[in-house]
Structure 1
């Protein structure tokens, strides 16, 4: 028996001892749900998605060897059918093997739709909007974890493709704060969404994880210098929005941790300001920091892990792109490390954890 199952069993036994209830608990259903959750963890889901991608590649090679690319309308119809069937199958069956097949069919369907529309001389904007609408529709139809997660990534990918066309790249600086705010709202309204017993409650978890990965996916465009055609001098506009969101999250953290001392609050604010100011032209770093704070506040381990990996990557990339001497880079990196250690000290030593 796992640790979680042991905790649940002990809790049920306490209820039986302390509560004189006439209604019996359905213990078998509880443990069955627990076992199902354990067997359907994130690692398995990631492996399923990777397996789906590999299966998609091999199947695409086979189909193109048969010459299907010569039939544009047929390929478009086949793509629509595959997306629709995979969505409906995933809605009816929630099994690992079915998830693998549905993800593969879903991805192949979108590949067929995109290629056929391009071959029919449709604009890139039209293709991106079509993928966006189909991904949103499938997200609203299926409650399955895997397909919902992939649909969120498809929505974000189509938005990025749309923004990278026709000189609209600067709107990415607006998209990042919007994604951060939506993620914060999604996190902080978790209880209300899950208790609503509606569509949002059924897709809450995959959408949450998908939004985390989508945010990091977008941050790559501003985390790596040269991917966007305009100067990084405009990045401070995005950073200001992210800074405001970080302080809002800190304010909520103080309430959660019952921090009432103004001196302690302002000390933490001062350390955070010192940490954030050097990143004003690197919003990818501050956004990763925001993601870590959000995930820490709501105890989302996946979000915290992705945020930490993103923070390490974007700091390393920013350090590499600096047009300074090696000595200056070392001083900057050393100072940043000291500031992060001070922030860690305030969180773990000064706050009265309750």
Structure 2
């Protein structure tokens, strides 16, 4: 069954349960979903085109700098500001793929020149970070473009991380992870209420969702690799505890969605979940990747699911590599974790089989 047929079937089920009082515009709903599918299918083309435009812009800029055609700091700064303004105008006024791609490419190049020009004026790096964040925030409110909104959100999250690094407040990375995990959970679990609260949020929801996924991963990377940040592992549990509690809550929602009524089954699921998550108490990167996987699975978000699985594999390998134990101890840890996952799989498999027989 295709996606549109599935939507039609879902609408018919709602109508049959609600009665004749339920009224909806089927053509408008299907048309909107077709439009959103078209935008999603062209997203990869846009991204590839944007990369091509960025590379061409960098080549042109390198040519100007190489031959000394741009020497003034003020010139670089004003060109950057001008390119940002032009890019916002193009993406706001035009919806064509070529112009849209050109506008986003100019935005990236303009931001690069803007940052470079500020550094040439020897402005303090924290002030530069705040200015870049302000430009990204203004761009987010001015233009309702999915790719540009995605870039602006990433710039804002990257600016927050930059401030944490430049001020040597590395312990705030745990607060960064916790806030992004809570925001990600809220956005994933409240799609309908978010997009219906304000029509302008319809186009911003998808870039917000994927940007939060990457932003959370940026923070998790800082805790996954030893020596990347000056962090004490003694406080890793402050991130992991929040992530684990959110994961348990998502498990509760999944049990509710699958209509699991047996108290014994629920107890086993919670017990196995706790055993699975316990080893991640001092590895928030693993529990964070698990959260992305579980949330994406619950809302059937395939992109997030793929990213979460890849991140989970990487974080597990990195965690195993950084363990300061003997090879035998590492093998025991992996063996125990794998055994818990296998028990979880066997339990779920038997449960699903028994439900099918019923």
Fold equivalence (TM over 0.5): yes
Cα 1:262/1:33, change in 2 over 3 Å: closer
Query: Partners in 2 of 1:154 and 1:3 — Cα distance?
Result: 36
Q: Which residue is equivalent to 1:334?
A: 335
Deviation of the 1:248 alpha carbon: 1.5
Query: Partners in 1 of 2:25 and 2:269 — Cα distance?
Result: 46
Q: Does 1:228 align with 2:232?
A: no
Deviation of the 1:307 alpha carbon: 0.6
Deviation of the 1:58 alpha carbon: 2.1
Query: Partners in 1 of 2:29 and 2:255 — Cα distance?
Result: 38
> Are 1:99 and 1:146, in contact at CA under 8 Å, matched by a contact in 2?
no
Deviations 1:22-74 (A, max 9, x none): x9989699569626723642433442443344334323323322436521122
Q: Does 1:114 align with 2:101?
A: no
CA RMSD in angstroms comes to: 3.0
Secondary structure class of the residue paired with 2:122: coil
Report how many residues are paired. Answer: 347
Cα 1:102/1:341, change in 2 over 3 Å: farther
Q: Which range moves more in the overlay, 191-200 or 280-289?
A: 191-200
Structure 1 consecutive aligned stretches of length 4 or more whose deviation exceeds 4 Å: 2-13, 23-33, 351-354
Deviations 1:240-282 (A, max 9, x none): 1111111121122222221222211121111111111111111
Q: Which residue is equivalent to 1:151?
A: 152
Query: Partners in 2 of 1:190 and 1:29 — Cα distance?
Result: 16
Q: Does 1:38 align with 2:38?
A: yes
> Are 2:54 and 2:106, in contact at CA under 8 Å, matched by a contact in 1?
no
Q: Which residue is equivalent to 1:241?
A: 242
Query: Partners in 1 of 2:233 and 2:241 — Cα distance?
Result: 14
Q: Does 1:131 align with 2:132?
A: yes
Q: Does 1:199 align with 2:200?
A: yes
Query: Partners in 1 of 2:123 and 2:99 — Cα distance?
Result: 33
Task: Give unmatched runs, 5+ long, in structure 1.
Answer: 14-19
Matches within 5 A, 1:141-290: 141-290=142-291
Query: Partners in 2 of 1:341 and 1:207 — Cα distance?
Result: 35
Q: Which residue is equivalent to 1:50?
A: 51
Cα 1:32/1:318, change in 2 over 3 Å: closer
Secondary structure class of the residue paired with 1:167: coil
Task: Give unmatched runs, 5+ long, in structure 2.
Answer: 13-19
Cα 1:177/1:324, change in 2 over 3 Å: same
Matches within 5 A, 1:91-102: 91-102=92-103
TM-score, scaled to structure 1: 0.88
Deviations 1:101-134 (A, max 9, x none): 1221111111111111111111111111111111
TM-score, scaled to structure 2: 0.87
Deviation of the 1:98 alpha carbon: 2.2
Deviations 1:289-310 (A, max 9, x none): 0111111111111111111010
